[in-house]
Amino acid sequence: MDSIKPKIVFIDIDGTLVDDDGSIPLSAQQACKQARKNGHLLYLCTGRSKAEIYDSIWEIGFDGLIGAGGGYVEYGSDVLYHKKVTAEDVRHMVDFFNEHGIDFYLESNSALYASTHLQAHLERRIYGDVDNEPAAREKKETKPHPFIAGLTYGEADLYKEDVNKVCFLESPIVPFERIKQEFEGKFEVIQCTVPVFGEGSGELMIPGIHKAIAIADLLEHLGMSREDTIAIGDGMNDAEMLEFCAVGIAMGNAKPGLKEIADDITYSVEEDGLYHSFVKHGLIEAME
């Protein structure tokens, strides 16, 4: 592989590296490790904040992180930048969601802070009716989802100072468009890329932030060329990233809109899509 010019690869997490249960296919783990051995740089490029990058992900080995949908950039042990929501806007969000009974969590680099009823809502969506269904209870006990375990519950004061963005779950009462309207001009309100959160779920992002801007800033800082970039993702928050990078790859489980703009479409997470894309684009050789 020595003759191949090193690439810098930007990898989404949910629906790309990790499946719906929070597991990383062995093929993806091996592909990432081998690609780095072959001299390529691998960056996580995700809507998740740093507190959501669990040890099981870091242990695979990555050269850095673009987190919070582009609001936080880290290379090695250095931070390029970290853009935070203002105190006034955090207060507005928390008050609005609490007033309308919408379950949400604040993403910061130190922790993910859950609203009062979020845990019960998440458990219903991920496991089922844990109070009345034995199968749901068993799933909760035998296969606890890392996301639920990773949240911080019971914080009385949610007016936090180091908020990157906010995610909210689908509400049966308040439609997505109403939430979007409430924060018009203040936040970029986008549909959430985690299917289990519901069609009407979403994320509130600081305007002017997305993955491609962060990638461009990182490339400039590293002195690397856009020609050497590959991006792989599955959600519409990956659109700018796939369009910006020299090669944009959509997962087989990607949103139809992302597949339309991708240079290539690989298999789904369950079908070892990341591994197959790495082989096809010359980052690694096929494994026995």
Strands 104-108 and 229-233: unpaired
Digit-coded pLDDT (tens) for 115-147: 999 999 999 999 999 889 999 899 889 988 888
Helix axes 273-280, 26-37, angle to 10 degrees: 30
Structure token pair of residue 32: 């990432």
Q: What are phi and psi of 163, to 5 degrees?
A: -85, 130
pLDDT tens digits, 252-275? 999 999 999 999 999 999 999 999
pLDDT band at 22 (very low <50, low <70, confident <90, very high): confident
**Per-residue pLDDT band at 90 (split at 50, 70, 90):** very high
What is the structure's pLDDT at 1? 41
Q: Where are the alpha helices (DSSP H) in the chain?
A: 26-37, 55-58, 87-99, 118-126, 134-142, 146-150, 176-182, 211-222, 239-244, 256-261, 273-280
111's tokens:
């922790």
Backbone angles phi and psi of 217, in degrees to 5 = -65, -40
Amino acid at 238: D
Q: Please state, in angstroms and rounded to a whole number, the distance separating the CA atoms of residues 49 and 236.
A: 18
For residue range 187-203, list pLDDT tens digits in order.
Answer: 999 888 788 899 899 99
Position 262, amino acid: A
Residue 3 has pLDDT above 60, yes or no: no
Output the average pLDDT for the chain: 94
Task: Give the pLDDT score at 13.
Answer: 97
Q: What are phi and psi of 84, to 5 degrees?
A: -120, 155
Task: Report percent pLDDT > 90 for the chain.
Answer: 85
Residue 54 pLDDT > 60: yes
Neighbours of 147 (CB within 10 A): 20
- Decide which of 70 and 192 is more confident: 70
Helix locations, 20-101, DSSP H: 26-37, 55-58, 87-99
pLDDT value, residue 144: 86
Q: What pLDDT, on the 0 to 100 scale, is given for residue 195?
A: 80
Please say if the pLDDT value at position 85 is more than 80. yes
User: For position 2, what pLDDT does the model report?
Assistant: 44
